[in-house]
Structure 1
Amino acid sequence: MSYKNIETIKYSRILLKLSGEALMQSGEKSCIDPDFIDQICQEIKDIYENGCQIAVVVGGGNICRGATMSKIGIDRANADYMGMLATIINAIAIQGKLENYGVATRVQSAISMPPVAEPYIRRRAIRHMEKGRVVIFSGGTGNPFFTTDSAAILRAIETNCDIVLKGTQVDGVYSADPKIYSNALHYNNISYEKIIQNGLHFMDTAAVALAQENEMPIIVFNVHKQGSLKNALMHQGNMTFIGNL
């Protein structure tokens, strides 16, 4: 697929990566922001109704981060499993809201949890999307020491997605944290190699390397801006496209 003529891009199957932090209600005790869940599910519904097949990978940082738990003395592997369980809670929340909007969904988990989620089975996930169901992947990769960014790239490759859309709290990839450095440079387009060489930490290096090896393009956009998901798919507005440039 050519990405040069951005006005004519058509993605038939996408994977949306949502961080747990994106779901967090700022300044409140609630770990899940109901307004944000409502916004992003409306946007997913809009894309879904336009015939796009959709998978979602969600993080768990709004509830529990493995890296943080390990710093207080919990074994890192156990801490990461705690984080995986948090992603399942978020996946169920997204599923509930999507189904409230009439969107058929399935939650699949890399950790066995039959009462609330199917086990992750690649062919079944693909079939669900072919039948018009949004598939929400939870439990990360099912292995400690791997981030949900790595899980997102892995699942996108496994299920033959056209692109990964990573929703963040800023509108793309910058040379430095734009919340701290006002003169940080925004990249409209950037190669995997430059991201790795420059140590840009919007996504962990292992995930970027996996995307590069399998030529999986990534779009980074501000998920908190209304309509940003659709704009990112159309390559409109502020965003960053990552690929072999």
Structure 2
Amino acid sequence: MQTTLGQFNETQSTDAFALQNSKLLKVSLNQVTVQAKLGSMVAYQGDVTFEHAGSGGLGRMLKKAVTGEGTQLMKVTGSGEVFLAVQAQDIHLIYLENDMITVNGPNLLAFDTGIDWDIRRVEGASSMMGGGLYNLALKGTGWVAILSDGPPVLLNVAAAPTFADAQAAITWSSGVSTGIRTDFKMKNLIGRGSGETVQMSFQGQGWVLVQPSEGRITADVTQQSSSGGGLGSLLNG
């Protein structure tokens, strides 16, 4: 048989996390145990087990209940390989070495057991908006895979005053502090769902990754929420 399918052969990378392509993540479970976005498995080979990841303790369960931020996670264990993807969105890998990044919850795809997580509030957000703005802080040593709706841009925060839409800023490094831009009229926030009315500021030494979209991931989360999933039931434990 003659085909043109050879270009799609499985990658033979020996890394625990490897990009099969820009939209598909391969995880070798012989090396790691993984927590991944619920529903992100598209294929696996070998002896693989999937179970609810839980909230990781009472404190984080209470934060989940109060903030409603993050994403539902599943724990993936076993031997073999699992392939993860979410609606053909772009996937990016970050390896932390006793470091921390902050991730917009819907943009988190997977991380390994060397990474701990917590829920953090954006400084200044609660006084501007009901409930505030919350994200996931990931800290430790290991791999993190994040999603972007299209090819993102990596901005050097130290180079100039930096601002981004709250839904478009998907992750930033540990040397960056955040806030809410307040030099626009409060009435623009009332009754508006667009991220364009909620601008985050970034300063310090580090970077922020900004996706070219504020719509698809947000829309997906809204649909999940209406069917019993999404932000409202994040990390149920």
TM-score by length of 1: 0.27
In proportion to residue count, which structure has more helix?
Answer: 1
TM-score by length of 2: 0.27
If you compute each CA radius of gyration, which structure gives the higher value, 1 or 2? 2
In proportion to residue count, which structure has more strand?
Answer: 2
